[in-house]
Amino acid sequence: MPSAATSSAAPASSSPASSRTAVTLTPRPLVFITGASSGLGQALAAHYAQKGWRLALVARRLEVMQQWRQALNLSEEVCRLYAADVSRPERIRAVAEQCLAEQGLPDVVIASAGISWGVDTAEWEDLEGMQCIWQTNNLGMAASFIPFIKPMRQRGSGTLVGIASVAGVRGLPGHAGYCASKAAAIAYCESLRGDLRGSGVAVVTISPGFIRTPMTADNPFPMPFLTDAEVFAARAFEAIERQRSYVVIPWQMAWVARLLRILPNGLFDAALAGRERKPRQPH
């Protein structure tokens, strides 16, 4: 992975009049992050900023990102902001092309934008809510990657990061929309990783457990191993730098995920019987 502090020295001139070595500074690496106005996306942006990276941040709420950039005293040259809803592929394509023109090809692209609410699969009105979840969490992820895949292949380097969830391991009652979307995100990133094998472009899937963000604030059920967003961002950064193919954060939830995978259906269903559910989308 590129380092924010790298530089390359050109050979000294053979001219007798030249007594200094010319130094060419390598541009700071660039990360493109969706869902950057809050939650995991904002925490990741802050951590990358601390590491000296240039930022290309995407979210619907431009004014929130502007306030955040001002609070961190980041210049527009270092941190460019793009207003877009990832559920609208044409908007993501437009801001991606704008990023390429203004900042160049990112070294890392992180699809962090996501939405979540409870659903009742017996209610027709909740079908629209499920569609919204899938449009954002799945098609939005693909739309965030597509503009950069061919240029990264041509360059022979780059990292695509999909933020999935431990909720994608098994389906939870009342969470059909979100769990299905995250299971699809995991499978999509796995397929993409195979497609890009040998190209120099890495695909990293990160499955968070319970992270303290606005998305989890209204969860009415216990959240084991609840982790601060800043801690998540630091561990995610390390995993991305190492180009790990799949990682669960915090690590304790990786063991929970393994247990969920092998738990017989009868025991799994009994364990979740009567569990409180996330509020449904307001209609």
- Return the domain boundaries, the chain: 30-272
Would you write out the chain's pLDDT as a tens digit for each of its 283 residues? 665 544 334 444 444 444 455 555 668 999 999 999 999 999 999 999 999 999 999 999 999 999 999 999 999 999 999 999 999 999 999 999 999 999 999 999 999 999 988 888 888 888 898 999 999 999 999 999 999 999 999 999 999 999 999 999 988 888 899 999 999 999 999 999 999 999 999 999 999 998 987 776 576 666 777 889 999 999 999 999 999 999 999 988 888 888 888 889 888 788 777 776 666 776 5
pLDDT at 19: 44
**What top-level class would CATH report for the domain 30-272?**
alpha beta
Q: Which H, E and C letters describe the chain, residue by residue?
A: CCCCCCEEECCCCCCCCCCCCCEEECCCCEEEEECCCCHHHHHHHHHHHHCCCEEEEEECCHHHHHHHHHHCCCCCCCEEEEECCCCCHHHHHHHHHHHHHHCCCCCEEEECCCCCCECCCCCCHHHHHHHHHHHHHHHHHHHHHHHHHHHHHHHCCEEEEEECCHHHCCCCCCCHHHHHHHHHHHHHHHHHHHHCCCCCEEEEEEEECCEECCCCCCCCCCCCCCEEHHHHHHHHHHHHHCCCCEEEECHHHHHHHHHHHHCCHHHHHHHHCCCCCCCECCC
pLDDT at 14: 44
pLDDT at 23: 53
Is 178 noted as a catalytic residue in this protein? yes
Residue of 48, 82, 178, 188 marked active site:
178
